[in-house]
Amino acid sequence: MAAKLRGFWLRISDGVAIHQLWEQFRADARTSYHLYSKELESKEIEGESRRKRGWRVARELFWAVMMKLSPARRVLLLVALVILFLPSIRIAGEHFAVETSGLQFWAGAILLVLLALELADRVTMKRDLEIAREIQRWLMPSAAPEVPGVDIAFAARPANTVAGDYYDAFLRPNEHLLIIVADVAGKSVPAALLTATLQASLRTLASLPGSLTDLAIRVNRYACEQNLGGTRFTTAFLGELDPATGCLTYVNAGHNWPVLRRASGAIERLETGGLPLGLTAARPYQSGTTALAPGDLLFIFTDGIIEAENGQALEYGEERMLALMQRLQGVTASEALNRLMSSVDSFVGLARQHDDMTCLVMKKC
């Protein structure tokens, strides 16, 4: 019997320790509260007591949860709650009498049915998202191009099943290496759809002759044409490396400033560029140039790295990231990337992240 119970528990918990299960539950509860609390009136009413405010918040949370359900499921949930919390109600008329005592079993059955319906919706959606994730993986490179004298590594971790981050590295017709890391505003499916259009347009436009600035202008014009509502934009860093000379031309379109760690340990930031893509086609872009020497490491990352939070809602931050990068002496691009991601993982622990994390590391050999 004990062996069966142990097997049952392992099947339910997947072998995860109790304290880890509790941390996962806390993370899920915190994420759910943030979702529902967006609809709450957080403004305090003058003269409102703590008790009244607590009751008001509970009431607003109830309606926030209720309105996420379909009308039929709302009615079922309401019936179940009435039976559960008011187990003894008697409704009597001239020719009939109904009493709800002893119906708690049916309240539990209704709640179980509602759970099953919601799980069915979630499984169906998850299956569709898994297909979308596979398509997104197919669109982005699984391995870096082989370029003499250049070592490249990249990693991407979506906050949800699909991501709004995008990275790529490929050779242009002039044999220069083009690298890009981009972050579409928003997350999940809408952002993922925009990353697909960005990838298609960039690959097509990069095959045309012209400078990196011309490419940025063309991509921005395309992004503005697709941004009909004016609410979607993309921060991006585009770099074009001449492998023979080590000359890097870049355009920073409102993106986090990449970090160039020199072989000497000195830190430089690459910030020249312009506004994020998709905001306006009227503003020009400027390009910056720098020379990469053997041993130099270039880190291009999205804000999900530095804004990763631990269980106490503290951010990883640029200070920790820069301190780590200064200690990376004589490592490959893959080793540097692994150390950075491991550092972020150690800091956040089991806390659930709310933004995609992407990083591309390039080393001049």
> Rounded to 5 degrees, what are φ and ψ at 274?
175, -155
Query: Residue 355: which pLDDT band, with cuts at 50, 70 and 90?
Result: confident
| 334 within 8 A of 120, measured Cβ to Cβ | no
Q: What is the largest CA-CA distance in the chain?
A: 96
Closest of 93, 113, 243 to residue 178, by C-alpha: 243
**Tokens of residue 82, six digits:** 């009435």
> Rounded to 5 degrees, what are φ and ψ at 2?
-60, -40
Q: Which of 131, 166, 190 is the last residue of a domain?
A: 131
At a CB cut-off of 8 Å and minimum separation 6, what does 275 contact? Answer: 253, 254, 283
For residues 118 and 61, membership in a common domain is answered with yes
Pairing of strands 165-171, 177-184: antiparallel
For residues 24 and 62, membership in a common domain is answered with yes
With respect to residue 21, please indicate whether it lies within any of the assigned structural domains. Answer: yes
With respect to residue 7, please indicate whether it lies within any of the assigned structural domains. Answer: no
With respect to residue 92, please indicate whether it lies within any of the assigned structural domains. Answer: yes
Count of structural domains within the chain: 2
d(CA 343, CA 97): 67
At a CB cut-off of 8 Å and minimum separation 6, what does 184 contact? Answer: 164, 165, 166, 191, 194, 195, 198, 232, 233, 234
For residues 273 and 158, membership in a common domain is answered with yes
What is residue 109's predicted lDDT score, i.e. its pLDDT?
86
Domain around 22 = 17-41+48-131
For residues 125 and 233, membership in a common domain is answered with no
Return mean pLDDT, the chain.
83
With respect to residue 8, please indicate whether it lies within any of the assigned structural domains. Answer: no
Which residues lie across from 251 on neighbouring strands? 238
Residue ranges in 227-332 assigned as alpha helix (H): 303-306, 317-326
What is residue 84's predicted lDDT score, i.e. its pLDDT?
78
pLDDT at residue 35 greater than cutoff 70: no
For residues 104 and 209, membership in a common domain is answered with no
The whole-model pTM stands at 0.72
Give me the percent of the chain exceeding a pLDDT of 70.
Answer: 82
**Which of 53-67, 186-200, 267-281 is predicted with the least confidence, judged by mean pLDDT?**
186-200
Which residues lie across from 252 on neighbouring strands? 237, 273
| 184 within 8 A of 279, measured Cβ to Cβ | no
**Of all helices (H) and strands (E), which one includes residue 124?**
helix 104-139
What is residue 136's predicted lDDT score, i.e. its pLDDT?
63
- Tens of pLDDT, residue by residue over 36-60, are 666 665 555 556 677 777 787 778 8
For residues 59 and 150, membership in a common domain is answered with no
For residues 223 and 244, membership in a common domain is answered with yes
With respect to residue 6, please indicate whether it lies within any of the assigned structural domains. Answer: no
**DSSP of 89-109:** -EEE-SS-EEE-TT-HHHHHH
